[in-house]
Amino acid sequence: MHNMVKKQGFFVPEGTPEVPLHPKESREPLYNGIIIRFIKTVMKAQGLKLYVYGSENVPTSGGALLAVNHTGYYDFILGGLPAHLRGKRLVRFMAKKEIFDTPGVGQLMKGMHHIPVNRDKGKGAGSLENAVTRLKQGQLVGIFPEATISRSFEIKNLKTGAVRIAEAAGAPLLPLIIWGGQRIITKDIDRNMGRTHFPIIIKVGEPVDSSGTPEEATERLSRAMKELLDDVRTEYETTFGPFEGGELWRSESLGGGAPSLERASLLEMAEKERRQAKREAKQAAHADKKPLPKRLFNKARGLVGKIRRK
């Protein structure tokens, strides 16, 4: 591991440049003033050791799209740390619309100006346009091109949305890898939210070319993310290992107990089918409770009136 120094509660390579505060984003009262301050307090209480590399690749002004790997529920927090080191800049994450519909949480998401994504087929165009607009306005946008959490902790097949957004906005496309966050809270593994002292590495790579066909550009992004993931995992294993083997948070390729990419894909398909069945059952139950058509309702009311008069 490089010579590391502590800045703003994170370990960064010695020589990481100091930058002035962003004149607008650093002053946002909810996101920077309350939420991030609270999050940093929680992470400190958990004893997390956060190592951030490549923050200098995040611009101090103007837009950039951060393409983040997705291994756990802390990624929305951890993916914003490199930007925080760049003058307390803020990342507006693209997140599924259902989160914004949740009471309380949804209001906070809207207050932090995150971007809702409608995953229903054919309804995601507005989300992409919104992200392009934000980038053109000079904001940092975070996207999870795998769409959902990778149970294998490998890079899944990427959606083409990231490269299409970056190309349309003319914004830098930056791969960002997180490793270790899945040890705190993720799918199918018991959460560990206590004072764990878990080390977590976050690394931002150099911009990826988003030109060409979306498929070509997505393949370049996928390669960049996989190479960055390999670098980060190698450093993690070397610095914080050796590990016994079979750990559920470690990839099968490392000797861990996480499912392979193929098995993880089957688990994801089964989960989608369960959710679809649940939605259909809910819709059917709702349909059974629908009121009678107005004509039948009025007829029934007339019969009740006649009975009462008798």
Exposure string of 105-123, with b = 16+ CB inside 10 Å and e = fewer, is ebebbeebebbbbeeeeee
The predicted-structure confidence for 5-17, as pLDDT tens digits, reads as follows 999 999 999 999 9
Which residues lie below 8 Å from residue 11, measured CB to CB, with a gap of 6+?
4, 5, 49, 50, 51, 52
What's the pLDDT at 125? 80
Positions of the chain with pLDDT lower than 70, given as ranges: 121-124, 288-310
What's the pLDDT at 310? 45
- Greatest Cα pair distance, the chain, in angstroms, is 94
Q: Residue 155: is it exposed, middle or buried by C-beta count within 10 angstroms (0-12/13-18/19+)?
A: buried
**CATH class of the region 4-258:** alpha beta
**pTM summary value:** 0.89
What's the pLDDT at 293? 55
Total Cβ atoms within 10 A of residue 38: 10
Q: Judge contact between 138 and 130, C-beta under 8 A.
A: no
The mean pLDDT of the chain is 92
Beta strands in the chain (DSSP E): 4-7, 10-13, 49-53, 64-68, 91-96, 115-117, 140-143, 173-179, 199-204
Q: Judge contact between 156 and 150, C-beta under 8 A.
A: yes
Domain boundaries, given as residue ranges, for the chain: 4-258, 260-310
Which residues lie below 8 Å from residue 73, measured CB to CB, with a gap of 6+?
149, 185, 186
Exposure string of 133-147, with b = 16+ CB inside 10 Å and e = fewer, is ebbeeebbbbbbbbb
How is 228-246 classified by DSSP, letter by letter?
HHHHHHHHHHHHH----S-
What's the pLDDT at 76? 96
What is the rounded distance in angstroms from the CA atom of residue 211 to the CA atom of residue 243? 41
Q: Residue 90: is it exposed, middle or buried by C-beta count within 10 angstroms (0-12/13-18/19+)?
A: buried
